[in-house]
Chains A and B, each alone.
Chain A
Amino acid sequence: MIEKTSVLAQPGRRAALPIMVLLALGFVAPLLAVVGFSFMPARTFGLWHEPTLENYETIFSDNTYVSLFWSLGLASATVVLLALICYPVAYGLVRVFGRWSTVLTLLFTIPLVVSENIRLYGWVLFFIKGGVLPGTLRTLFGVEMGDFLFTPAAVLFGMVYVYLPFMLFPMTLGIAMVPNQMREAARDLGATRWQVFREVELPLSTPGLMIGSLLTFVLAVGAIAEAKVLGGQRIIPITHDIEIAFTYAQNWPLGAALAVLLMLVVSVLVLIVLRRFDLDQILGKR
């Protein structure tokens, strides 16, 4: 008798079936619907029209590239700035601040329980004409602050502020993974503090930096509130383009095509980075 080699022959696979079905319905199906919509004629609301590439043609023939440029550019700048800001802070949390680290960690995490929009509106009140900062500068020092709110710089500031914890905590873990013995051995062998940092600590804490950077980039490229609230829509990121297509423009197929384009671009960029830096390898699993 020939034994059936059904996919569900193994108990583990059968046990995984409910969650696989749930994922298929809740995760894959909506994605497929978005992909399907992107091939529907513009401004239609069903999935059963004759497929067309017109939405993709529209994207490549109009000025959508401007939005994509802003999203990718701001996300990249956010990652670079956060890497520079967070490394010393993470280093301090792991090696310098001692018992104060817990308090500082709490200070970094507590704002996360407050809605992002509310925090950004808080910054509006801080930077707005006559607000906390310009008002204080004028009253105490007679200095008039130039325009900052409703500029691209304010958008970048907001993104750095919002995504800081997503870079900081993986980086903290990365630095904590560097064994003290390695640093001590390097020092015993005559390395300077700079050499210890450059040759031992930085390479060994790279997994934290990489995971933080990927996480921050993927989140930041989908940012929208910062450009709307702090930037006063001076710039339109691609996520805002998608929102407009799904709301005022009522062009779900165009919105879906923009979403697919964004997913593809981000996936390709992430894959390139992952190919360049093998996470399994740097985490020491192989």
Chain B
Amino acid sequence: MFDSKLSRRDFLKTSASAAATLAATQVGPFAGAAHAARDKELNILCWEGYNSAQVLDPFRSSKSATVKAESLTNDPTMINRLRAGEINVWDLINVNNPWARKIMLPEKLIKPLDRAKFEPYFAKMMPQFKPPYKWAMDDSGKDLLGMAQRFGPYSFVVNTDKISRKTAEDQGWDLFNDPKLAGRFGILESDDWNVFGICCIAGFDPYQPHTPEQVAKFEETAKRILKNKKVVGDIATMNQAMISGEIDCHLTGGTYSASPARADGHLNLRGVTPNKGPLAGGKGGIAWIEITSVVNNPHGSPLAEQFLEYVQAPEVAHTVAFAEGTFNPVAQMGNPECFKLFTKDQLEAIQWDSLEEEMARSVEYDIVPDYDKLLDIWNAAKKS
């Protein structure tokens, strides 16, 4: 019961003091004490999949921890959130391969892992990830910056009932220069990847500095491709439009985007890696590899490294490969204990039959030197 002598003024005073105390513990000099208790919480900034309950729940219950994961669908946004001050919020960041060694380590956004503890995991991965794995190391080759897991080729997707795999692989990116394809293809709304794709269609390497002539060619190609497209949309829209026959193919895409439809039995939707193209070594495809790093959070959670170890287990790696959203190969498939967990249908969904050759025909995702300029041209072309 309330004390009847408690006046409204006293109540307000007490409430104000309580509120002030609470606020002070959050942001004031007591904040350190609150952060010290982070051994039961973990915050992950990632691509979709790592935020799924299938992946997180077993870790949550085994550690009695609060694990929050936010999924985003482009690397620059995640990195800029760290740059904008969220380095104090996140413990792990999961982005594509070049960012850890080229951007995040030099900017001190991430910190190296204990090499003795984590490098042995790479030895169990598929052959191309054998230690020291380039994208997981810093430039000097001394520090280990993150762990590899999901990866895949990512160029474009065709409906093989309309365009044969051989035709698509032989024609490569030139397929989209064919006027007969006008109104019959879509564009996946991954604008960073579309910048790569338009460069390849225009006939030059996206990852090299570009001449003014190449920039002009990029603009002309972007306008033409956007004019000829049928639809721009997300993965669900692309797959639905391919299945229904609205479109015959779409850029950019690959195992990552086609796998949900393939897992649903639509094996005629297939990620294609061109036999040749304008990329380094005359290659025609681009592949991505995710690297998950520990954020240089001054109050980082000790669970961050434990989570990185947790996802290396064969069962968890298999769950990560087939978590909600998209389905992808994982580096841990090099471990027979992990590989045997994949069913025939799952291997078909992730195009296991051609994975090795597609990766061999691909260069690895990299940073475009004049990305901002090309992206601005691409976005302006969307409105023209």
Interface residues in chain A, defined as those with a beta carbon under 8 Å from any beta carbon in chain B: 43, 45-46, 62-64, 66-67, 121, 124-125, 128-131, 149-150, 228-229, 232-234, 236, 241, 244, 246-250, 252
Contacts and interface: CB of A to CB of B under 8 A. Distances in A.
B231 A62 contact: no
Interface in B220-261: 230-234, 236-237, 240-241, 244-246
Given A124-B240, A128-B241, A229-B237, A150 B230 contact: yes
Given A228-B233, A228-B234, A246-B77, 12 more contacts: A62-B380, A63-B383, A64-B383, A67-B383, A121-B236, A150-B231, A232-B232, A233-B232, A234-B232, A248-B191, A249-B372, A250-B76
A46 B84 CA distance: 7
Nearest to A46: B84
Contact of B76 (A130, A233, A248): A248
B375 interface: yes
A229 B233 contact: yes
Interface string B74-104: 1011001001100000000000000000000
Nearest to B383: A66
Given A131-B244, A233-B189, A248-B192, A45 B230 contact: no
Given A43-B372, A67-B383, A249-B379, A129 B244 contact: yes
Interface in B331-384: 372, 375-376, 379-380, 382-384
A250 B379 CA distance: 13
A124 B230 CA distance: 14
B203 to A, nearest CB: 23
Q: Which residue, A43, A124, A130, has most C-beta atoms of chain B within 10 A?
A: A124
A247 B74 contact: yes
Given A45-B84, A244-B191, A248-B192, A232 B245 contact: no
20 contacts: A43-B372, A45-B80, A45-B84, A62-B380, A63-B380, A66-B384, A124-B240, A130-B245, A150-B230, A150-B231, A228-B189, A228-B234, A233-B231, A233-B233, A234-B232, A236-B382, A247-B74, A247-B76, A249-B379, A250-B77
Contacts of A244: 191, 379
Interface residues of B, number: 30
A205 B232 CA distance: 42
Nearest to A70: B383
Q: Majority SS of interface residues in chain B? A: helix
Nearest to A246: B77
B141 to A, nearest CB: 30
A149 B245 CA distance: 13
Contacts of B382: 233, 236
Contacts of B84: 45-46, 252
B44 to A, nearest CB: 19
Contacts of B192: 248
| Among all A-B residue pairs, the 9 with the closest Cβ atoms | A232-B231, A233-B232, A248-B191, A45-B84, A66-B383, A150-B231, A129-B244, A128-B244, A250-B76
A125 B240 CA distance: 9
B375 A248 contact: yes
B269 to A, nearest CB: 15
Given A249-B379, A250-B77, A232 B233 contact: yes
A147 to B, nearest CB: 9
Given A130-B245, A131-B244, A236-B383, A124 B237 contact: yes
Nearest to B193: A248
Q: Which residue, A124, A241, A244, A249, has most C-beta atoms of chain B within 10 A?
A: A249
B105 to A, nearest CB: 19
Contacts of B241: 128
B73 to A, nearest CB: 9
